[in-house]
Amino acid sequence: MIRFNKPYIFGQESEFVKKTIDDGTLAGMGVYTEQCQQFLNNRYGFENTFLTHSCTSALEMIAILLDIGVGDEVIVPSFTYGATANAFALRGATIVFADSNVDHPNVSIESIEKSITAKTKVIVAVHYGGVSCDMSALMALCKAHDILLVEDAAHSIDSFYQGKPLGSFGVCAAFSFHETKNITCGEGGVIVVNQRELVPRAEVIWENGTNKAMFRRGEIDRYSTVDIGSSFYPSELNAAFLYGQLLHLDMVQSARIALWDRYFLRLQKVCSEKNVELPQIPEFASHNAHVFYLVCNSKSQRDGLIAHLWSKKIQAVFHYSSLHSSEAYRSSHQRVNLVNADRFSECLVRLPLHLHLKEKDIDRVCDCIIDYLCAT
């Protein structure tokens, strides 16, 4: 079986986890949490990062930090994971879904523009597959309408827009370290706070609304609950594991990019002959090979391809279903018609991509795809 995803373990993860066990420091905010944050800050020039137990919780923390509430509208792409919308819906915001581009799952700037009203408070950009959205256009739009930009950078560690790391454009950004992402600790995430004025409150929300951080720094002589918040920080066991992965980031990235490029090269000919779309990478984006996908001509061709690959013991999978027509959101989006998001929901297929795969595995997947496309 060629699995869709299998986390690659370097060995240092268990070494660091054992150290936290031996030291008896299991709760959050210990040395490994600090080291992970430092690593990300140094590598990407972030000034303020807070490790979280998922990207979902990072997004929830952002929604609290930006004071999102009833009456606020938040524009979210329809082609994304539920968490992107849920985090803001949980605060009482009205979710407004935007369409994807015709040729890329990333959100369409024109669709966002049409969705802006006087109540729009936030636009959430999702960089699908670690491929940057058009950040200049998005930032210009946000500036013109006085809207806050948030990056759901769940896919996007080590991805760039014109050489600048994703996660550094929004007022805040959220990354994921879920098992299916490039770097993992099982469940984990991080919030990047790019606006200095927001940092003191972020620190408080991160730690259940308390000012314990100030207390630890000796700035106050007792701490208390000063705001709302939650237990957003992960245990040191997770942070230790994560640090053991982060140290190998360069190796992860070069291996993934080599596999991604091999897929692209081997599938180019058949896809152009059969009008099947390969991932388009805009000039401004340098991506992290998070997802390799094809966009088929129809849902039936896509479902047939997935079934064919599974019959050959290859786990290919579809991806998101448009949120505007999901059970959770469709009743409030009855007249919404987002054709590009629907097309990616119905026609996109993701291929196996992880560090256990060898070149010959990629070649086998490609051969099976070529067989299927040429026979239909």
Ligand X SMILES: *Cc1c(COP(=O)(O)O)cnc(C)c1O
Q: How far apart are CA 76 and CA 145, in angstroms?
A: 16
Q: How far apart are CA 327 and CA 201, in angstroms?
A: 35
Helix ranges (H only) for the chain are 12-23, 31-44, 55-65, 82-89, 109-115, 135-145, 199-206, 212-216, 236-246, 249-274, 299-311, 339-347, 359-375
Q: How far apart are CA 270 and CA 264, in angstroms?
A: 11
How many residues touch ligand X under the rule CB under 6 A: the total is 14
Question: Angle at which helices 236-246 and 12-23 pack, to 10 degrees?
Answer: 150
Exposed, middle or buried, 358 (CB in 10 Å: 0-12/13-18/19+)?
exposed
Considering the rule CB under 6 A, would residue 287 count as an interface residue with ligand X? no
Q: How far is the CB of 137 from ligand X (least distance, A)?
A: 20
Q: How far is the CB of 84 from ligand X (least distance, A)?
A: 5
Considering the rule CB under 6 A, would residue 56 count as an interface residue with ligand X? yes
| Cβ proximity to ligand X, 66 vs 368, nearer residue | 66
Q: How far apart are CA 149 and CA 172, in angstroms?
A: 7
Measure CA 248 to chain center: 19
Task: Give the residue from 347, 353, 351 showing the smallest Cα distance to 368.
Answer: 351
Select the residue interacting with ligand X from 20, 33, 37, 80 (CB under 6 A): 80
Select the residue interacting with ligand X from 62, 65, 68, 83 (CB under 6 A): 83
| Cβ proximity to ligand X, 173 vs 259, nearer residue | 173
| Residues between 215 and 244 with contacts to ligand X, criterion CB under 6 A | none
Task: Give the residue from 154, 203, 195, 205 showing the smallest Cα distance to 172.
Answer: 195
| Cβ proximity to ligand X, 20 vs 80, nearer residue | 80
Considering the rule CB under 6 A, would residue 154 count as an interface residue with ligand X? yes
Q: How far is the CB of 217 from ligand X (least distance, A)?
A: 29
Select the residue interacting with ligand X from 29, 36, 55, 157 (CB under 6 A): 55
- Alpha carbon distances (Å) from 231 to 73, 209, 241: 26, 9, 19
Considering the rule CB under 6 A, would residue 75 count as an interface residue with ligand X? no
Considering the rule CB under 6 A, would residue 54 count as an interface residue with ligand X? yes
| Residues between 107 and 126 with contacts to ligand X, criterion CB under 6 A | 126
Q: How far is the CB of 350 from ligand X (least distance, A)?
A: 12
CB atoms within 10 A of CB 61: 25
Considering the rule CB under 6 A, would residue 81 count as an interface residue with ligand X? yes
Q: How far apart are CA 353 and CA 348, in angstroms?
A: 15
| Cβ proximity to ligand X, 171 vs 271, nearer residue | 171
Select the residue interacting with ligand X from 189, 234, 244, 352 (CB under 6 A): 189
Select the residue interacting with ligand X from 91, 104, 121, 178 (CB under 6 A): 178
Select the residue interacting with ligand X from 37, 100, 101, 176 (CB under 6 A): 176
Footprint of ligand X on this chain (CB under 6 A)?
Answer: 54-56, 80-81, 83-84, 126, 152, 154-155, 176, 178, 189
